[in-house]
Amino acid sequence: MKIIIVKNSAAGGKKASELFKQAYNDGARVFGLATGSTPITTYECLVKSDIDFSDCISINLDEYVGLKSTDPQSYRYYMEKNLFIAKPFKKSFLPKGDALDAVEEVQRYDKVIEDNPIDLQLLGIGRNGHIGFNEPGSSFKLKTHKVALTDSTIEANARFFENEQDVPKFAYSMGIGSIMKSKSIILEAFGEDKAEAIAKMVKGPLSEACPASVLQEHDNVTVIIDEAAAIKLS
């Protein structure tokens, strides 16, 4: 794992967007994307950059079950607002939160990932070490699946909703098995509340108790963290 410590999330976003540009110049055309507060600065930099994604495909990690794509809390809405309106891709895939059949939706998404191998996957990390919505205890072999969110994730995501009761209890998530097939990975984390998860990911045992620890096994991971998220590394 290559670890880059930056001053703050603005510097982290700049660094990540530079790595996107480099990957694009090296031929990457399929980008795996994340939502949440962490990648916002990266998307801001990408929007301002001269990268043209119109010949690229994006595949997002996850989506809440039950939300339509037009729902302002959906991850599709987030992606349109923060990136796709300014930087359209040839095709952008996310799981469909309002899919009628969960089994079919999971299979459809696996086929999307299989047909479009991801060149560069952007990840955030949960305070409990989750990546995508692969919560502690998730098998490292999983493909796309429907997952029950843990109380800690629901609580962490409540800040985006009016009431904690409004946070969906289930999500579709790309599995760790699929994430690990990405040719390269950038994981970003900013703030002290991520320090514990970062320390476990980097120094802890390879364990399903900390899903992100699986990244120790990937040979092309760049971790971009600010000083606060790095405090438990030394």
Bridge pairing between strands 62-64 and 91-93: unpaired
Is residue 197 within 8 Å of residue 189, measured between CB atoms?
yes
- Residues forming a β-bridge with 3: 223
The values of phi and psi at residue 3, to 5°, are: -110, 125
Residue 128 annotated to the active site:
yes
How far apart are alpha carbons 95 and 233 in whole angstroms? 35
Is residue 218 among the annotated active site residues?
no
| 165 Cβ neighbours under 8 A, 6+ residues apart | none
Size of the site for ligand F6R (CB under 6 A): 13
Answer for which of 9, 17, 35, 182 binds ligand F6R (CB under 6 A) is: 35
Should residue 34 be labelled a site residue for ligand F6R when binding is judged by CB under 6 A? yes
Residues 125-144: x where in contact with ligand F6R by CB under 6 A, - otherwise, as a string = xx---xxx------------
Tokens linked to 127: 């305070």
The phi, psi pair for 56, rounded to 5°, reads -115, 165
Helix axes 40-48, 9-25, angle to 10 degrees: 50
Q: Please indicate whether residue 188 is annotated as part of the active site.
A: no
36-65 residues near ligand F6R, rule: CB under 6 A: 36-38, 61-62
Task: Considering only residues 68 through 97, tell me which ones interact with ligand F6R, judged by CB under 6 A.
Answer: none
Residue 167 interacting with ligand F6R (CB under 6 A):
no
Nearer to ligand F6R, 34 or 45 (CB): 34
- Measured from the CB atom, the residue of 52 and 133 that comes closer to ligand F6R is 133
Nearer to ligand F6R (CB atom), residue 19 or residue 171:
171
Q: Which residues bind ligand F6R (CB under 6 A)?
A: 34-38, 61-62, 124-126, 130-132
Catalytic residues: 62, 128, 130, 135
